[in-house]
Structure 1
Amino acid sequence: MAIGLIDIDSKIPNLALMKISSYYKGIGEDVEFVQPNKTYEKIYASAIFTKSKGKCEELQNIYGDKIEIGGTGWDINKVLPKEIEFSKPDYDLYSVEDIASRMRGIMTKERKLQKATEIVNAGMGFTSRGCVRECGFCFVPKKEGKFRHVAEIKDLLNPKSNVLILHDNNLTADPYCIDKLKEVKERKLIVDINQGCDVRLVNEDIAKALSEVRHLRSIHYAWDLMGFENQVMEGIKTLSKFIKPYRHMCFTLVGFNTTFEEDMYRFIKLREMKVDPFVMVYNQKDDKRLKHFARWVNSRIYKSCKWEEYEPWIKAQVEYNQISLF
């Protein structure tokens, strides 16, 4: 019998499952994603998003004691045993087709396969864990604790390519941030700072170091809380001296503790700075106005019509206003 794996909701290869696979293959076990009508000695599943709790419960009902579920979407306190946590990921676990099938958005089949190949062949992992911040909407402080160093850039490389997906939660808070970026540059890597940069901590030295490495996609950061407006604006100005604003992406959390007027204000400020915003609705909050706002912003519909002219929202307002009254 083999070890079975279930990736419940990851959009990119799931690092925990890759490490579990590597560990068990290393001790001579067969490992594969769960196949229908097959029996497994043990099954490991991972959920990234809290919206997947229902799916996790279904899997528990099906497999009982045989399955072990982890991931932020299920249990933020659960961690991998040390012997698995420090295993090198199994970079052969996912196929290009696996990842391509999880991709959303409008793109040709060829482009989807190209992007999936890039991701599957990339190195990935953390050089640090934890975060110096304690944001009320974030799982990281509870799950990972205080900021600490855990690995070197060289430990994360995949010999298949020079792409590195860096999962560090707050690279710009790292005392070794510039040294790590210099190593990325010297190794001629293409980096995706997957969790974004804390733009409030970007000074000219960090901005210069960020500009000297090749990025897999737009450099991204967040403006989640209104109270940090000045620091975010200063960070964007500093970064923009070295990396043009059209190469920036700013994630904007809505539905947590801001009003819609504050959400719109942040959108307008970012566009004034020529930065592309990307709206994230907190915990998939069931608010039709926020969902319409997210689509209007994220699909770049704002470039062709004003919010007040956005037809899907115009049609939805009558029902929305009736619900709001109650």
Structure 2
Amino acid sequence: MKVGLVDCDSHNFPNLPLMKLSAYHKQKGDQVSFAECGKFYDRLYISKIFTGSREPMLPASGEIIRGGSGYDLVNHLPDEVEHIYPDYGLYPGLTKDTAYGFLTRGCPRQNHGFCITPQKDGCISQKTADLSEFWNGQKKILLLDQNLLACRERMELLNQLVDSGAWIDFQGGLDVRFLNGEILSLFKRMKVSSYHFAWDDPRENLQEQFRLFFRAGFIKNRSCGVYVLTNYWSSLEEDLFRIYTLRDMGFLPFVMIYDKQKYVDEKGRWHPDVAYQYSEEQLRKFKVCQHLQRWCARVWILKKCPKFEAYEPYRRWLERGQPVPTERSGKR
């Protein structure tokens, strides 16, 4: 069989399902490659992670199978594919000395309606693999788990990471609520390239948990980022409280804007129809979040301008009367 693979998303990050499908079909003796127009394939696998990604023009084929959260949240790889060692050769430049995978699936944060994980992978964090399923001595391990620390077998899995001796990147994030002395002691034995946390809900007071991590001394030598959700259920005051609190402890706050892609394009420019889709109040709230995100995007800006109200682009926007697109005036 001649199998063609189509990655609808950015090629700056390897597509794990396609790597597993490639490994599965190569084990069966099939010919596997990225699909090219002008050629015929017995089967095409089209993977789309993000809903905003577009399908490219497809070559002729006998069968098409689409999958990924960009299409729906119910499709899954068969077990014999899900648990196969990935074909890292599909993305040689991106996977050199780096392993990618999930040790767990699911997340208990059911109240986080902005996140697809509970609906897609379940509202319980469960162990789904041992490290050896996708790691074979690579120098780096990039973990995509959404809530590894919520898993009952977390200590077992963290010990596997310690024993690997590899550099670990918790790309999917860690739940600061589960931090304790036992977990922090394992982190100290681990080679971690970067930590990622989140403070999504302003109604949760997580200061003490972040201070616990801060007092353990991890921030001094590593990049420790915290995603701060905006434009969902928080006010500007609540956004700034989280940003200032995290910054003062040495964390790097990353402002995430809910539904950003519905307001602006990839360059941050308003979509032509936003004035007909949203009220002026909603557009102004989004614009404030956009200024917040740009203000936090560079460490040197935060240091040079520690107070958001003094951030020049935001201050100029206020002085101009907080302009946003309207039905009468169009884009501004």
Contact 1:211 1:243 in 2 (8 A): no
Q: 2:77 aligns with which of 60, 80, 85?
A: 80
Alignment: residue pair count: 297
Pairing 1:47-196 to 2, within 5 Å after superposition = 47-52=48-53, 55-56=54-55, 66-96=63-93, 99=94, 119-134=95-110, 135-145=112-122, 146-159=124-137, 161-196=138-173
Q: 1:238 aligns with which of 203, 212, 235?
A: 212
**What does residue 279 of structure 2 align with?**
none
Name the amino acid aligned to 1:277: P
TM-score, length-scaled by structure 1: 0.83
CA deviation after TM superposition for structure 1 residue 278, in Å: 0.8
Q: Which sits farther off after the overlay, 38-47 or 306-315?
A: 306-315
- 1:148-195 Cα offsets, whole Å, 9 max, x none, are 221112222134x23112222211112222232222222312111221
Matches within 5 A, 1:266-305: 266-284=242-260, 286=263, 287-300=286-299, 301-305=301-305
The answer (yes or no) to whether the contact 1:200–1:234 under 8 Å persists in 2 is no
Q: Report which of the two has the higher share of helix.
A: 1
Q: Is the 8 A contact 1:45 1:67 kept in 2?
A: yes
Letter in structure 2 aligned against 1:314: R
- Displacement after TM superposition at 1:323 (Å): 5.0
Gap regions ≥5 residues in structure 1: 100-118
**Counterpart position of 1:3:** 3
Please name the residue that 2:280 is paired with.
none
Question: Structure 2: which 5+ runs fail to align?
Answer: 264-285
Which residue is equivalent to 2:180?
203
1:91–1:158 contact (8 Å) kept in structure 2: no
Residue 309 of structure 1, CA deviation: 3.2
SS at match of 1:250: strand
Corresponding residue of 1:13: 14
Q: Which has the larger radius of gyration?
A: 2
Q: Distance in 2 between matches of 1:121 and 1:92?
A: 11
1:66-90 per-residue CA deviation (whole Å, 9 max, x = no partner) reads: 4332212221111112221122111
**1:199–1:236 Cα contact (<8 Å) kept:** yes
TM norm structure 2: 0.81
Distance, in Å, in 2 between the alignment partners of 1:322 and 1:177 is 47
Amino acid in the other structure paired with 1:187: S
- 1:110 matched residue in structure 2: none
Matched, 1:254 2:255: no
Distance 2:128 2:26 in 1: 23
